[in-house]
Chains A and B, each alone.
Chain A
Amino acid sequence: VGEFFSTCGFVQPSKECKSRLRGGSHLAGAANNVAPFQRDGAEGCPSCNFLVCVCARAPPSVTRVTSVLTHSSGELLLLGTEGGHVFIVEVPGFRDCRSTIHSDLQKPPYDYIGRRNLEHVEALQENPINSNQVAIGYGRGLMVIWDLNHRCAIRHIPATQQLESMWWTENGSCILSSHSDGSYCCWTLRTGDKKEEEEKSNIPYGHFPCKAINKIVQLPTAGGPPFLLFSGGMPRASYGDRHCITVIYSKTQVAFDFTSRIIDFFVIRDGPHHTEPSALVVLVEEELVVIDLQTEGWPVIQTPYLVPLHSSAITCSHHVSAIPLKLWERIIAAGVVQNTQYSKKLWPITGGQNLAPDPPQRDLLLTGHEDGTVRFWDASGVCLYPLYKLSTAAVFNADADLNDNMSQSAEGEWPPFRKVGCFDPYSDDPRLGIQKIHLCKYSGYLTVAGTAGQILMLELNDEAAEQTVEAKVVDLLQGQEGFRWKGHTQLDVREEPVLFPPGFQPFTVVQCQPPAVVTALNLHSEWKLVAFGTSHGFGVYDYLQKNTVLVKCTLNPSDQLAMEGPLSRVKSIKKSLRQSFRRIRRSRVSLRKHHISNTNKVIQEANARLEAELAEMELAPVQRKIEARSSDDSFTGLVRILCFADTFLSDSSHNTPSLWAGTNGGTVFAYILYIPPVEHRADEALTAQPAKEIQLMHRAPVVGIVVLDGHGAPLPEPLETAHDLARSPDLLGSHHVLVISEEQFKVFTLPKLSSKMKLKLTAVDGSRVRRVGVAWFGSSRTEDYGESGLVFLTNQGDVHVLSLPHIKMQIRYPCIRREDVSGIASCVFTKQGQGFYLMSPSEFERFSLSTRYLVEPRCLVEAPLPPVFSNQHQPKLEGASSALRYMLSPYFPFFLQEIQKSLEGDQT
Chain B
Amino acid sequence: MNKNHRVPSSRSLSAVEVKSKFGAEFRRFSLDRSKPGRFDEFYGLLQHVHRIPNVELLVAYADVHGDLLPINNDDNYLKAVKSANPLLRLFLQRKEEADYTTFGTDSLTRKKNTVLSAVLLRPDPNKKKPPVIISLPKDFRPVSSIIDVDILPETHRRVRLYKHGQEKPLGFYIRDGSSVRVTPQGLEKVPGIFISRLVPGGLADSTGLLAVNDEVLEVNGIEVVGKSLDQVTDMMIANSHNLIITVKPANQRNNVVRGSGGGGGAASGSSSDSGASYHGYVPQGAAATAGPTHIIQNFPVGELESDEDDEDLVIEVGGEAETIQRTPSNYSMPSLPRYEPHLNLRTTTAANSGSAFSINANGNLRGSGGSLTNTNASSTTPSPDRAKERRNLEEEGTVITL
B-contacting residues of A (Cβ < 8 Å)? 478-480, 537, 552-558, 621-632, 636-637, 665, 667, 669, 689-698, 700, 743-744, 746, 748, 752-755, 760, 762-768, 795-796, 818
Report which of A623, A636, A692, A762 forms a contact with B234, defined as CB distance below 8 A. Answer: A762
Interface residues of B in 353-391 (CB under 8 A from A): 363, 371-373, 376-383, 385-386, 389-390
Among B238, B363, B376, B377, which residue has the most Cβ atoms of chain A within 10 A? B238
Is A478 a contact partner of B376 (Cβ separation < 8 A)? yes
Closest to A796 in B: B231
CA distance A762 to B390 in the complex (A): 34
Taking the closest CB of chain A, its distance from the CB of B206, in whole angstroms, is 15
Is A690 a contact partner of B234 (Cβ separation < 8 A)? no
Report which of B222, B371, B373, B385 forms a contact with A764, defined as CB distance below 8 A. Answer: B222
Residues from chain A with a CB closer than 8 A to the CB of B169 are 627-628
CA distance A555 to B196 in the complex (A): 34
A-B residue pairs in contact (CB < 8 Å), sample of 24: A480-B376, A553-B376, A553-B377, A557-B382, A557-B393, A621-B175, A625-B233, A626-B173, A626-B233, A628-B170, A632-B383, A689-B318, A690-B317, A690-B372, A691-B318, A694-B315, A695-B381, A695-B401, A698-B310, A744-B238, A754-B324, A763-B238, A763-B239, A765-B227
Nearest 9 CB-CB pairings of A with B? A766-B231, A628-B240, A762-B238, A690-B372, A624-B233, A690-B317, A763-B238, A766-B235, A478-B376
Is A754 a contact partner of B318 (Cβ separation < 8 A)? no
Is A631 a contact partner of B231 (Cβ separation < 8 A)? no
Is A631 a contact partner of B376 (Cβ separation < 8 A)? no
Residues from chain B with a CB closer than 8 A to the CB of A767 are 231, 234
Residues from chain A with a CB closer than 8 A to the CB of B314 are 692-695, 748, 753-754
B402 within 8 A of A: yes
Is A763 a contact partner of B235 (Cβ separation < 8 A)? yes
Is A667 a contact partner of B381 (Cβ separation < 8 A)? yes
Closest to B378 in A: A690
Known pairs A557-B380, A669-B379, A697-B402; A765 contacts B231 (CB<8 A): yes
Residues from chain A with a CB closer than 8 A to the CB of B171 are 626-627
B316 within 8 A of A: yes
Is B231 a contact partner of A754 (Cβ separation < 8 A)? no
Closest to B331 in A: A697
Closest to B229 in A: A624
Report which of A690, A753, A795 forms a contact with B318, defined as CB distance below 8 A. Answer: A690
CA distance A480 to B375 in the complex (A): 11
CA distance A752 to B243 in the complex (A): 30
Interface size class of B (residues with CB under 8 A): 35 or more
Residues from chain B with a CB closer than 8 A to the CB of A698 are 238, 241, 310
CA distance A693 to B312 in the complex (A): 10
Is A665 a contact partner of B381 (Cβ separation < 8 A)? yes
Residues from chain A with a CB closer than 8 A to the CB of B248 are none
CA distance A690 to B312 in the complex (A): 18
Among A622, A623, A795, which residue has the most Cβ atoms of chain B within 10 A? A623
Residues from chain B with a CB closer than 8 A to the CB of A700 are 238
Taking the closest CB of chain A, its distance from the CB of B144, in whole angstroms, is 14
Closest to B239 in A: A763
Is A762 a contact partner of B315 (Cβ separation < 8 A)? no
B237 within 8 A of A: yes
Taking the closest CB of chain B, its distance from the CB of A627, in whole angstroms, is 5
Report which of A622, A628, A631, A762 forms a contact with B175, defined as CB distance below 8 A. Answer: A622
CA distance A557 to B399 in the complex (A): 13
Residues from chain B with a CB closer than 8 A to the CB of A795 are 230, 234
CA distance A631 to B172 in the complex (A): 19
Known pairs A695-B400, A697-B310, A698-B241; A480 contacts B233 (CB<8 A): no
CA distance A746 to B325 in the complex (A): 14
B69 within 8 A of A: no
Residues from chain B with a CB closer than 8 A to the CB of A554 are 379-380
Residues from chain A with a CB closer than 8 A to the CB of B389 are 557
CA distance A667 to B309 in the complex (A): 17
Is B234 a contact partner of A766 (Cβ separation < 8 A)? yes
Is A631 a contact partner of B383 (Cβ separation < 8 A)? yes
Residues from chain A with a CB closer than 8 A to the CB of B227 are 765-766
A-contacting residues of B (Cβ < 8 Å)? 163, 169-177, 196-197, 204, 220, 222, 227-241, 243, 309-318, 324-325, 328, 363, 371-373, 376-383, 385-386, 389-390, 393, 400-402
Report which of B196, B204, B239 forms a contact with A623, defined as CB distance below 8 A. Answer: B196
Report which of A621, A667, A694 forms a contact with B176, defined as CB distance below 8 A. Answer: A621
Residues from chain B with a CB closer than 8 A to the CB of A744 are 238
Residues from chain B with a CB closer than 8 A to the CB of A694 are 312-315
Is B380 a contact partner of A556 (Cβ separation < 8 A)? yes
Is B313 a contact partner of A624 (Cβ separation < 8 A)? no
Residues from chain A with a CB closer than 8 A to the CB of B310 are 697-698
Residues from chain A with a CB closer than 8 A to the CB of B378 are 690
Taking the closest CB of chain A, its distance from the CB of B167, in whole angstroms, is 10
Residues from chain A with a CB closer than 8 A to the CB of B238 are 698, 700, 743-744, 760, 762-763, 766
Is A629 a contact partner of B240 (Cβ separation < 8 A)? yes
CA distance A558 to B383 in the complex (A): 9
Residues from chain B with a CB closer than 8 A to the CB of A627 are 169-171, 237, 240
Closest to B314 in A: A753
CA distance A460 to B222 in the complex (A): 54
Known pairs A665-B381, A697-B312; A628 contacts B318 (CB<8 A): no
Report which of A480, A557, A622, A631 forms a contact with B401, defined as CB distance below 8 A. Answer: A631
CA distance A558 to B371 in the complex (A): 23
CA distance A51 to B311 in the complex (A): 60
CA distance A768 to B233 in the complex (A): 11
Residues from chain A with a CB closer than 8 A to the CB of B390 are 557
Closest to A670 in B: B317
Taking the closest CB of chain B, its distance from the CB of A695, in whole angstroms, is 4
Closest to B177 in A: A621
Is B382 a contact partner of A695 (Cβ separation < 8 A)? no
CA distance A388 to B318 in the complex (A): 47
CA distance A694 to B379 in the complex (A): 11
Closest to A743 in B: B238
Report which of A552, A557, A690, A796 forms a contact with B386, defined as CB distance below 8 A. Answer: A557
CA distance A287 to B389 in the complex (A): 57
Report which of B233, B236, B317 forms a contact with A692, defined as CB distance below 8 A. Answer: B317
Known pairs A755-B311, A763-B220; A636 contacts B381 (CB<8 A): yes
CA distance A543 to B269 in the complex (A): 68
Residues from chain A with a CB closer than 8 A to the CB of B373 are 689-690
Residues from chain B with a CB closer than 8 A to the CB of A624 are 173-175, 229-230, 232-233
Residues from chain A with a CB closer than 8 A to the CB of B311 are 697, 755
CA distance A553 to B377 in the complex (A): 7
Is A628 a contact partner of B315 (Cβ separation < 8 A)? no
CA distance A485 to B168 in the complex (A): 32
Taking the closest CB of chain A, its distance from the CB of B168, in whole angstroms, is 10
**Other 5 A-B pairs with CB < 8 A, given A623-B175, A764-B222:** A632-B385, A690-B372, A695-B401, A766-B233, A768-B234
Is A691 a contact partner of B317 (Cβ separation < 8 A)? yes
CA distance A697 to B331 in the complex (A): 11
Taking the closest CB of chain A, its distance from the CB of B268, in whole angstroms, is 22
CA distance A556 to B386 in the complex (A): 10
Residues from chain B with a CB closer than 8 A to the CB of A637 are 379
CA distance A818 to B386 in the complex (A): 38
CA distance A753 to B373 in the complex (A): 21
CA distance A626 to B235 in the complex (A): 10
Is A692 a contact partner of B175 (Cβ separation < 8 A)? no
Is A630 a contact partner of B381 (Cβ separation < 8 A)? no
CA distance A764 to B169 in the complex (A): 22
Closest to B309 in A: A697
Residues from chain B with a CB closer than 8 A to the CB of A763 are 220, 235, 238-239
Report which of B220, B233, B386, B400 forms a contact with A693, defined as CB distance below 8 A. Answer: B400
Known pairs A480-B376, A553-B380, A698-B310; A692 contacts B316 (CB<8 A): yes
Residues from chain A with a CB closer than 8 A to the CB of B383 are 558, 630-632
Is B324 a contact partner of A752 (Cβ separation < 8 A)? yes
Residues from chain A with a CB closer than 8 A to the CB of B204 are 626
Is A556 a contact partner of B234 (Cβ separation < 8 A)? no
CA distance A900 to B390 in the complex (A): 78
CA distance A637 to B379 in the complex (A): 9
